[in-house]
Amino acid sequence: MQPFLDKQFRIRSYEVDYRGRVSPVALLNYLQDAAAEHAYQLGVAVTMLQSQGLTWVLSRSHLKLFHSPGVGEVLRVRTWPSRRDLRFTCREFEIYDRKENLVALATSSWAVLDLTTRRPVPLDSSLPIYPLDQRRALDDGFASLTRLEKVDRELSFRVRLMDMDLNRHVNNAVYAAWALEVVPAQVMEEYRLVELEIAFRAEARYGDSIISRCADEGDGMSFLHQIVEKGEGKELTRLRTAWRFL
């Protein structure tokens, strides 16, 4: 049983933006896929937990991007669990290109949810022991993200069937796509995304109407984001993005 897993991904034509560079959402999906495969090897895959009335839920995610490879490039994702306490476990990621240049680093925090109560359960009573590598890809203590107080831009979306995952709620990468869609067009044209932080607070399900909001933090290069359920105004996700000139 290995404490880490390496998995390769070839960037497909439908995974790049109009510049031909891999999209942040595609990278998040690579991370999710590598994590799922390693979880299976460690005996803690989603399907294994579901048979016990449990499942994984992502609590926090933090991605730093150093460059954006193009279509056809082969990326190597390395992932490993770094720590595990009463209710949360951290999983780390490194992404390299074919020449072993660092493309991105990421860290994430996960909990195990009881499918009946929809509440987190203690990890020691729900998961077997598996090896950890305590090295962090990003040294993030996951302090609370700032709540959005003013709104510069917003867009409405409706949750589609294709947005759903095995837990029958919206896949984590979809929230990032909703958030990025609200960033001003000028920023998307002249800058590149270098950092993405996500704090998941509640679930969205098929048919829900949601609103994606953002506001400039004041420098034109970083934005606070919030995704809410339209009907009751329930906060689903907080995000923060940072950008640099191309």
Task: Return the CATH number at 99.
Answer: 3.10.129.10
Same domain, 107 and 166: no
pTM confidence score = 0.96
* Mean pLDDT, residues 228-239: 95
Contact 88, 110 (CB under 8 A): yes
Q: Is the pLDDT of residue 201 over 90?
A: yes
Domain with 227 in it: 153-245
Same domain, 165 and 214: yes
Q: Could you tell me the two tokens for 82?
A: 């770094």
Total domains, the chain: 2
Band (246; pLDDT cuts 50, 70, 90): confident
Contacts of 143 (CB under 8 A, 6+ apart): none
Categorise residue 91: left if φ over 0, alpha if ψ from -120 to 50, beta otherwise.
beta
Per residue in 18-76, pLDDT (tens digit) is 999 999 999 999 999 999 999 999 999 999 999 999 999 999 999 999 999 999 999 99
pLDDT of residue 239: 98
Q: Is the pLDDT of residue 167 over 90?
A: no
In a domain, 143, yes or no: no
